[in-house]
A and B are shown apart, each in its own frame.
Chain A
Amino acid sequence: MALTYRVDDILPSAPVVEPPLRAERLWFEEHGVNFGVVVGHDVVQRPIPFDPIPRRIPKAEWAGLERGLLQRVAALDEFVRDVFDSQRILRAGRIPAAVVYGSTAFLRYASGAEARKPGQVCVAGTDLVKVGGQWIVLEDNLRVPSGVAYALAARRAMVDLHRDELAEFRPRSISDYPRRLRAALDDRAQGDGLVVVLSPGPYNAAYYEHRELAREMGCRLVTSYELIASHRGCWLQEGSQRYPVSAVYHRYSPEYLDPVGGSPESLIGVPALLGAWRSGNLGLANAPTCGVADDKSLFPYVPAMIRFYLGETPLLQQPPTLDMTDPKQRAHAIDAFDDHVFKPVDGSGGKGIVFGPEATGSDRDYVLTMAQARPTALVAQPVLEIDRLPCVAEDGSTETRRCDLRPFVIYGRDPWVLPGGLTRVAPDKDSWLVNSSAGGGIKDTWIEA
């Protein structure tokens, strides 16, 4: 009887297949590109998930975005100065005064001559999504815009792991960012002294970024315990030595920068740091005034700011935002609950956001209670079916996921938009949230040269 062999039997055992994304995971682990995720009561630093299929943006499309972003940030910077000066826009009735005066992010403690100078905004990170092929702004981050170091890491990972693809497309370089930021900080420096990066410390989610930017800018990375401030200036204390500091690039929400003027129960920050800034003896980026412009209750009025301060038509679109203090708008948002996303006005990192379509019963109760009890603390926007991008799934196949884009603008004497940005990726094909604190990942962003 003839022997029959099954093909499988005569071939050597199947080669070990690399699990999908293994090289990428190892690269991010090796380079320590971590993002802190809250687990129980702890912050655990984990390598940020990385997707190797880059987002590509054609040249002309990017040029339009760039113009729109510069316009937006210019108007926001003017707005910040105006709020701390004669409040022209309120007097002109273009923004309801009650919205500004009621904003918890309006840090009156920062008021003074410094608050009226141009360049309050140093770095802006604007969140955009594409809906039906059209770019739409979702929010402006001006307090502590973060993520740029992750975008820089994503590019380096592509250089190391997907060199051929990169060589073929030749996207615009983004490596100039640290030099540009340093120049913007030097512009804001007061007197001679060190330029330092002030981080809340290793428990901060974006500590990797603080460390990385400091290293690339040639700056000392410090925590609040190492700085001493008074109205006369700021110093770095090292043993018994004190070195003058001329500018601080801080990564604190401004209300926590200085416990003397901040919330009375807060002990973090550097006492009298804002005093040093207010008396013109220290550069501070972003200026502590900026919070008021990134309050979500002010977001609906950014187009009005562009028209009022620049006399221009807004170039970028944004979704309508419902004011929950207005009974009609509130009723509309609640009636069509499933069509809306509800955001706390002072939140970040996706915290407290409720998506109508996937809200649980308790989410819904929370929104209904808040809408009644503290309507100023909440806004509602229509849920957008945002365009998806191809991503590599767990099993190695390709799936599409929701993504956003956070480009970075360095603002001041020489405004500049980083040609690229951080493309954030939802953790799976069904997720709505792209925030890194919600398990989202990142991918590289390629701008056609």
Chain B
Amino acid sequence: MAAYSIVHTTRQRYREAVHRSRNEVRLHPLDSLTQRVAAAEVDVNPPAEVAVSIDYYNNLVWSVAVEAPHRELVLAVSSEVELAPPSFEPVIEHPWDDDALAFNPTIEFTAASPRVPRLDAVDILLQECGVRYRDASSLVRANAELRERFAYVPGATTVGTGLLEVLERRVGVCQDFAHVMLAMARQAGWPARYVSGYLLPRRSDAIGESHAWVEIATPDGRWVGLDPTHGIAVRDGHIRVAVGRDYDDVAPVRGIFAGQLPGEPPEVTVVIRQLEMASNPGPPHYAMADQ
């Protein structure tokens, strides 16, 4: 068991004061068997009204409403997460067949989604990677080899870059790798979902990073994580924050403001620190900003 503290700060500057803003924040880590959330809070500056809700995919959402004029919005999410090693090996044992999928809720994740449309270019890529329909080992191998076909280049794409452009240019960041992998998995007959979260830093007290990968549903009711950016199956180096069909369902901060000029891209910093379990016996504290 290892515990981590995460501070994820989003600083949105506006070119001139905005009268009010509305944002939805999906940065509360997921509570699951392998990952317990000991504490999570969002601190907003300027002061805001914050409400909590659960979305369609069971992600926790903070709705943040700022009423006063402001030139800058700072959303600081602090959380503490305890990770248990997964109780099973991240392997896909059985393939799906039509009967198994017919009444299974995971079928939702076989459908095309707004950011992951069905494309002929994906079928071509599947062929190129030697992925056979509903064949697990060839899909896992394609995940391991995606970096050989696509270049990881920070800044080469934006959050809005479409799948087709990524497939044509063969370049992207983790979000794009995840979308490509989702498209491949779905067109190869697997239910697959997008996961946003963090990658644990290799040394303690380091600047962490937001990350994205995919999960493939197996017929025995498990979701197996595949991280195409690193070419690995997810074991214990990842912290899961939100799941959905694609990036648009899990965007960490999404919102709108009343003002004249477009905002600049937000500045995001993530600091992940490993906690000494023994020296951290204090009770977890749940707190909301300005409630």
Contact = CB atoms under 8 A, between A and B. Distances in A.
Given A260-B24, A260-B256, A267-B256, A232 B107 contact: no
Interface string B97-119: 00000110101101110100000
A264 B67 CA distance: 22
B102 A102 contact: no
Contacts of A231: 49, 51, 53, 63, 65
Interface string B40-67: 0000000001010111110000010100
A279 B56 CA distance: 14
A229 B248 CA distance: 22
Interface of B: 20, 22-24, 49, 51, 53-57, 63, 65, 102-103, 105, 107-108, 110-112, 114, 160, 248-249, 254-256, 258
28 contacts: A91-B103, A93-B103, A98-B107, A101-B111, A102-B111, A104-B114, A108-B56, A108-B249, A109-B55, A109-B56, A112-B53, A112-B54, A228-B20, A230-B22, A230-B49, A231-B63, A232-B49, A232-B51, A232-B65, A264-B160, A271-B22, A271-B255, A272-B63, A272-B65, A275-B53, A279-B51, A279-B53, A376-B112
A260 B65 contact: no
Interface in A233-277: 259-261, 263-264, 267, 271-272, 275
A159 interface: no
Given A231-B51, A232-B49, A259 B65 contact: no
A371 to B, nearest CB: 14
Contacts of A112: 53-54
B165 to A, nearest CB: 16
A111 interface: yes
Given A102-B111, A108-B55, A231-B51, 16 more contacts: A87-B105, A91-B103, A98-B107, A98-B110, A109-B55, A228-B20, A229-B22, A230-B49, A231-B49, A231-B65, A260-B24, A261-B254, A264-B254, A271-B22, A271-B258, A275-B51
A331 B103 CA distance: 28
Chain A to chain B: the 4 pairs with minimum beta-carbon distance, closest first: A230-B65, A108-B56, A111-B56, A231-B51
Contact of B248 (A93, A97, A264, A376): A264
Given A93-B102, A260-B22, A101 B107 contact: yes
Contacts of B55: 108-109, 111
Contacts of A230: 22, 49, 63, 65
A263 B110 CA distance: 21
A261 B24 contact: yes
Question: Could you say which of B105, B248, B256, B258 has the most chain A C-beta atoms within 10 Å of its C-beta?
Answer: B256
Contacts of A402: none
Interface string A90-109: 11010001100110100011
Contacts of B22: 229-230, 260, 271-272, 275
Contacts of B249: 108
B103 A260 contact: no
A90 B107 CA distance: 11
A188 interface: no
B112 A260 contact: no
A259 B20 CA distance: 14
A98 B103 CA distance: 11
A343 interface: no
B48 to A, nearest CB: 10
